[in-house]
Amino acid sequence: MRLLLRKITWLFAVLGGLVALAVGVMTVASVSLRFFTTQPIQGDVEMVQMGVAVAISLCIAWCQLRGANIIVDFFTQNASARTTRWLDGLGCVLIAVMYGLLAWRTTIGAFAVHEVNETTMTLELPMWWAYASLAPGLMLAALVALVQAWLHFTGQDLQTLQGERQGEFA
């Protein structure tokens, strides 16, 4: 189960990276066209905005899974392992609330802008796409955080979910 969750989260993140790269390549094409022919790709800015937003949302769960969210550990350096575990579990619950709230409300937002037929400026793409595309990543992140909280509270090893420590830093 944990391995599956980890695999899905990894897949989301790599997909996010791919989308960001695709946005980058499209921008390069647009810049070149503008430079050589004065006419850029129509709606390039909108595609960057939507693409990057989706990309980031797909990466959030991975960031959560890897414990990459910044915490202040200065004041709890001498706390017992038990205390730390409970505090980290609480942290996971609170951030799961944040992910969950955003996922839920963004989905409602998608319905709201769909209802009034809002579109983007140039390509006239339905605006609800931008809203709806953010929800899956946020929901997965909430799930990951809740699983982590459960592991913390039950005193289990997080390593099986998180994977081995990597040599590289971001």
Partner 1 sequence: MSPMTIGLVMFAGMLALMVLRIPIAAAMFIPGALGYLAMSNEVALFNMLKGSAVARLTLYDLSVIPLFLLMGQFATQGGLSRALFRAAAAFVGHVRGGLAMAAVLSAGAFGAVCGSSVATSATITQVAYPEMRRYGYQGRLSTAALASGGTLGILIPPSVPLVVYAILTEQSVGKLFAAAMLPGVLAMLGYLVVIALYCMVRPELAPPHAPVPWAARWKALFGVWPILSIFLVVFGGIYGGIFSPTEGAAVGATLTLFAGLASRELNLKAICNSFIASAETSAMVFLIFLGADMMNASLSLTQLPAQLADWVTHLGIAPLWIVVSVLVFYVILGCVMDEMSMLLLTIPVIFPAIMGLDLWGLAPEMKAIWFGILVLMTVGIGLIAPPVGLNVYVVNNLAGDTSMGETYKGVFPFLAWDVLRVIVLLLFPTLTLGLVDLFFQ
Partner 2 sequence: QEVTLKVHHIWPNTAIVPSKVLNPWCDKIALESKNRIKCQLMPAMSGGGTAAQLVDRVKDGVDDMVLTLPGYTPGRFPSTEVFELPFMSYNAESTSRAIWDYTQKYGMKEFVGTKLLAIWTHDEGYIHNAKHPIKTLADLKGLKLRAPTRQTTKLLTLMGASAIGMPITGVADAISKGTLDGAVVPWETLPSFRITENVKYHTETPQSRPGLYTAVLMWGMNQAKYDSLPADLKAIIDRNSGAALSAQLGRTYDESQAPARKVAEERKNEVYVLPEAETDNWIKASAPIYDSWVADVEKKGLPGKAMVQEARELVQKYSKK
- Counting residues that bind partner 2 (by CB under 8 A) gives 16
Q: 53 touches which of partner 1, partner 2, none (CB within 5 to 8 A by kind)?
A: partner 1
The closest of 134, 143, 159 to 53, measured between CA atoms, is 134
Q: Which is nearer to partner 2, 1 or 121 (CB)?
A: 121
Candidates 32, 76, 83, 122; binder of partner 2 (CB under 8 A) is 122
Q: Which is nearer to partner 1, 2 or 48 (CB)?
A: 48
CA-closest candidate to residue 19, choices 155, 134, 138: 134
Partner whose binding site includes residue 116, from partner 2, partner 1, none (CB under 5 to 8 Å by kind): partner 2
Q: Which does 160 bind (CB under 5 to 8 A by kind): partner 1, partner 2, none?
A: none
Interacting residues with partner 2 between 83 and 112 (CB under 8 A): 112
Smallest CA-to-CA distance from 81 within 24, 163, 2, 155 is with: 155
- 3-state SS of the chain: helix, strand, coil percent to 5? 75, 0, 25
Distance CA 118, CA 124 (A): 8
Rg (CA), the chain: 20
In whole angstroms, how close is the CB of 141 to partner 1 at the nearest point?
8
Q: Which residues bind partner 2 (CB under 8 A)?
A: 34, 38-40, 45, 112-113, 116-122, 124, 127
